[in-house]
Amino acid sequence: MALAAACDRDHFESLLLHTAHDGASAIVAYAVLPDRFHLLLTECQPHGISQRLHRLLSTYAHWHRSRYQQSGGLWRGRFKAFPVEPGTTLNTVVSCIEYMPVRLGLVDCPVAWSWSSSRPNVDSLTAPGMRSSVNPATAPRERDSPAHPPSEQVLQTFEQCIARSAPMGSPGWVNQVAQAHDLSHTLRPRGRPRGSGRRVPLAVD
């Protein structure tokens, strides 16, 4: 795993927060886990998120290969991303991201995980691109008090949006964004349409 050791996560988090100075995107929330990472970013300039992630992943991969004397690819495929509706849904996604260490059984409470935006002292450690309040319309959260954990249904929706790169938000907003960004296919059920009983020839090599 690319982030298995504590020193790996320390270095990845350091690179992540260092890139906050570039102005391409701003960090809203994050969690660095042994086998993956979750980021919630807002784009400050065109293609800012893609540029930031490319720089972050390539820099970390170079460091990791050098440290462990390895070669070849470090990441499994391209990163997955999906749009999030501002407001309540944005705050929900923050809760899902910061709750992931608990969901994976790594800690008992989000603030106990050392590599996420839920840490009590995260605001004093981060660069200017880090947002201390995920929603400017609301008061900043007290990060040293555990947030209400997201429900299992919300967590499953969050994970499905990751898997399919589908927009997450209210139905009207989701449909509007899907049409505007050619994401309508991410909303369709997988597999054959219901009621389709016709057999389809298969080519087997």
Provide the 3-class DSSP secondary structure of residue 26. strand
DSSP H/E element including 35: none
CB 143 within 8 A of CB 111: yes
pLDDT tens over the chain, length 205 residues: 789 999 999 999 999 988 766 677 888 999 999 999 999 999 888 888 888 888 999 999 999 999 999 887 888 777 889 999 999 999 999 999 999 999 999 999 999 999 999 875 555 444 444 444 333 333 334 444 445 789 999 999 999 999 999 999 999 999 999 999 999 999 988 766 555 555 545 555 4
CB 33 within 8 A of CB 106: yes
Beta strands in the chain (DSSP E): 25-32, 37-43
Helix axes 152-164 and 88-103, enclosed angle (nearest 10): 100
Q: What is the pTM of this model?
A: 0.81
Q: Considering only the top CATH level, what class is 6-181?
A: alpha beta
